[in-house]
Structure formats: structure tokens, C-alpha cells
Amino acid sequence: MLLPWRAIGLSTVSVLRQLALLALLLSSLSAQGAGVFYCCPDPASGRRTCGDTLPEVCRGKAYKMLGGDGTVLKEVGPPLTSEQKAEAASMAKRKQEQEDLVREQRRKDQALLDTYSSVKDIDVAQQQAEADLQHAIVSANAQIDVIREQRKKYEREAEFYKKKVVPADVAKGLREADYSIKLLEETREVKRRDFQTIKAKYDTDRRRYLEITSRLGPAH
């Protein structure tokens, strides 16, 4: 025999279970009613064709995704043509190239800030680079002068053999002297041209440094 209060408890549990089952059923029905439908015009009839999965006639065409209440959830365009695909690929490539340029410029800007703490640092670096070039040119001139003096010795020895065969060591000395002088003269010309390269480099660094620091503020 059940006590009265236990009978009431069992009755309450039963009611709660029934309410839970009813809520689950209503939730299921609501979900079914809120399903997604795919719709597109049927090219044969011109009428709209819909389905809970994408109808076969909609494949490869523009279609709409509709909610259970008819609300348009999403519109999907038709597949791109070959020309549109090519244009999209070209645009993506241009975008990537532009992003790469921006990224590379940021890297260069940071390297510039890491290298120089002021415009004066750039001036000092330029002066040192130009001094190194000048030293190289002076050194080349000095070596050319030495080799020319050595060549004169071979020239005097060759004077004795105007109508005879010049000894091999004398001929070799003349050739080697001419070759060395030619190399040193070429090196000297390269160093002279490097002055313009150095000037352009540090002018660019100085201008860019001022642009960056003017944006960053007086801290730089």
C-alpha cells in the first residue's frame, strides 16, 4: 500500500515525463518546419523548382536557399565562366603581389630603423663608405704607378733586342705588367662609378628615414 504523499509524488513524476516528451515532440516539429529549401527556375517550364536538397535542374545554375517561412537565407550565383575565372585569378594575383610589396616595404623600413638611430648616423655611414671608395682608388693608383715603374725596366731591356727576339722573361714581364695595369684601371673606374651608387643609396635611405620618423613622431 502506497502512502498518500508517495502517490502524489509518482503522479507528479509522470506528468513531468509527459510534458518533457511533448516539448521534445514540439521541438522536432518546429525543426522540421524550419528546414532549408533550395529553389531555382526550371529552364524548361520557367517555374520555380524547390527541394530539401539541391534539385538536379539547379546544379550548375544560380539558386536560392530559403527558410521554412520562405525567407531567403542565401543566394548562390552561377558557376564562373572561363573568362571570369581568369579575371578572378588575375585579381587575386595582383592583390597578393600588392600585399607582398607592402610586407617587403615594412621589412625594409624596420631594417632602416634598426640600422640608424638618427639622420646623423646616415651621414656618418655615407662618409665612411665614400672614404673607403676613395682609399681604394688611391691604392689602385699607387699600385699602377709601381707596376709602370717595373714595366719601364722591361722596356729598357727590350731596347737591346729591337732587331732580335726579345727574351721570354722580358716579354712575359711586359705582358704581366700590362695585364695588371688594365685590371687596376678597371677596378679604379668601378670604384669611381660606385660614388654615384653610394650617393643614391644614402639619399634614398635618408629620405625614407625622414618619412618614417615623421609618421612615428618626435621619439625618433
Do the Cβ atoms of 123 and 156 come closer than 8 Å? no
Does some domain include residue 23? no
Residue 146 belongs to domain with CATH number: 1.10.287
> Are 111 and 144 found together in one domain?
no
> Are 210 and 165 found together in one domain?
yes
Last residue of a domain, one of 67, 91, 115: 115
> Are 122 and 208 found together in one domain?
yes
Does some domain include residue 111? yes
> Are 75 and 58 found together in one domain?
yes
Residue type at 141 in one-letter notation: N
pLDDT at 219: 55
pTM over 0.75: no
How many residues does the structure list for the chain? 220
> Are 134 and 60 found together in one domain?
no
Backbone angles phi, psi at 48, to 5 degrees: -75, 135
Question: Structural domain tally of the chain?
Answer: 3
> Are 162 and 209 found together in one domain?
yes
Instruction: Give DSSP secondary structure letters for the chain.
Output: ---HHHHHHHHHHHHHHHHHHHHHHHHHHHHHHT--EEEEE-TTT-SEEEESS--GGGTTS-EEEE-TTS-EEEEEPPPPPHHHHHHHHHHHHHHHHHHHHHHHHHHHHHHHHHH-SSHHHHHHHHHHHHHHHHHHHHHHHHHHHHHHHHHHHHHHHHHTTTTSPPPHHHHHHHHHHHHHHHHHHHHHHHHHHHHHHHHHHHHHHHHHHHHHHHHH-TT-
> Are 90 and 73 found together in one domain?
no
> Are 178 and 199 found together in one domain?
yes
> Are 137 and 196 found together in one domain?
yes
Last residue of a domain, one of 88, 115, 142: 115
> Are 97 and 123 found together in one domain?
no
Last residue of a domain, one of 115, 134, 161: 115
Does some domain include residue 106? yes
Does some domain include residue 149? yes
Does some domain include residue 19? no
pLDDT at 218: 61
Does some domain include residue 3? no
Does some domain include residue 16? no
Q: How many CB atoms are closer than 10 A to CB 177?
A: 20
Domain that holds residue 105: 80-115
> Are 126 and 198 found together in one domain?
yes
Give tens-digit pLDDT for 20-61: 554 444 444 344 445 789 999 988 888 888 998 999 888 888
pLDDT at 35: 79
Does some domain include residue 174? yes
Question: Low-confidence residues of the chain, pLDDT below 70?
Answer: 1-34, 217-220
> Are 187 and 132 found together in one domain?
yes
